[in-house]
Amino acid sequence: MKKKRTLKVALATVLGLSATLASAWEPSGKVDCIAPANPGGGWDFTCRSVGNVLEELNLVPAAVQTTNMAGAGGGVAFAHVLGKRGSDDQLLVAASTATTTRLAQQQFAGMDASMVKWVGALGADYGVIAVSKNSKYQDLKSLMAAAAADPRSVKFSGGSANGGWDHLKVLIAAKAAGVSNLPQIPYLSYNNGGEAITQVVGGHVDAFTGDISEAAGFWESGDLRIIAVLAEERLPGKFSTIPTAREQGIEALGPNWRGFYMPKGADKAAQKYWVDAIDTLYSSDEWKAVMAKNGLIPFHPKADEFEAFVTQQVADIEQLSREIGLLK
């Protein structure tokens, strides 16, 4: 009798394990990663670099394809996911503080942060202000002094929409530097950081506002001088020669996390797979090398904390936007 009972328990355990294995979700074939901008910017960097490491770690069965979908500061991609890909298990979308900024300012009409699944963050990409190698501005103080004397005299370019995160960083720095009439500061919006930088390098715009990963290549080639990083302290490694805004007497901080969201209607097992995959990728040596090369600073809230972080950041940026006059 006891033997039969033992066999029944063993059989139930095996059947239960088989059911668990059968229900475990894994990606099959190609995975799509939407970068909500043209090639050359931070979202494009996120999709392509993460895609490469996912492939290296065998966390995907085939290639991760990057699809560039520019428009409305990420709004075109957000609407596309909600309207056409709402249950796609094999879709990731690059996101950042630029995304939460647009959501905070109600720029995605009728859409909000609760409508997607926030997968995870893979580091913070700190904001920078940079000028061309031949610029007359040698540091952030001289640039902001010119803006204080005449807000219209200094033109900025960035890869976010007007009122977006890159624009907001200029206003944060200018406000901290005592510049008045903030809305008068010219800000030219481009589809990505790469396009915005070429305007500065070409002498058409005075300064670039974006993130360190976007500016790194132009800085290393000598075409761009980064006059301030908007971080609490200097970045590590090769970026340690770049001064912070804070050490120049301007209390301006601009951390830009990089990560992903996915369709909220995707299978729950698929959502868990991607959350776990991002966890695995973040702790890998391969990703640590990518972070070091591109100036990313460690930033990775736990899976059960990331959604709450995004919700809080949206609320904080909404308040800041009202203070600066971008929202009524």
pLDDT digits (tens, 9 = 90+) for 155-196: 999 998 888 899 999 999 999 999 988 989 999 999 889 999
- pTM, two decimals, is 0.77
DSSP 244: B
Task: Note the pLDDT of residue 41.
Answer: 86
* pLDDT tens-digit series, residues 202-261: 999 999 999 998 899 999 999 999 999 999 899 988 999 999 999 999 999 999 999 999
DSSP helix/strand/coil, 161: coil
d(CA 194, CA 217): 10
d(CA 303, CA 315): 20
Q: Is the Cα dihedral 72, 78, 84, 88 positive or negative?
A: positive
Confidence of residue 9 (pLDDT cuts 50, 70, 90): very low
Task: Note the pLDDT of residue 249.
Answer: 97
Q: Kind of pairing, strands 207-211 and 116-132?
A: antiparallel
Residue 63 has pLDDT above 70, yes or no: yes
DSSP helix/strand/coil, 66: strand
Q: Which residues contact 239 (CB under 8 A, 6 or more apart)?
A: 212, 216, 229, 295
| Amino acid at the residue 102 | R
* pLDDT tens-digit series, residues 108-148: 999 999 999 999 999 999 999 999 999 999 999 999 999 99
d(CA 168, CA 104): 12
Residue 19 has pLDDT above 50, yes or no: no
% of the chain with per-residue pLDDT over 90: 79
d(CA 86, CA 265): 5
d(CA 185, CA 207): 12
Task: Note the pLDDT of residue 161.
Answer: 84
Mean pLDDT of the chain: 91
Task: Note the pLDDT of residue 195.
Answer: 94
Task: Note the pLDDT of residue 320.
Answer: 85
Structural contact between residues 164 and 73, judged by C-beta atoms closer than 8 angstroms: yes
Tokens 């005299």 sit at which residue? 153
Residue 326 has pLDDT above 90, yes or no: no
% of the chain with per-residue pLDDT over 70: 93
Other residues' Cβ atoms within 10 Å of the Cβ of residue 205: 23
Provide the token pair at 326: 């971008």
Confidence of residue 8 (pLDDT cuts 50, 70, 90): very low
- Cβ burial of 277 (10 Å; 0-12, 13-18, 19+) is buried
CA diameter of the chain: 93
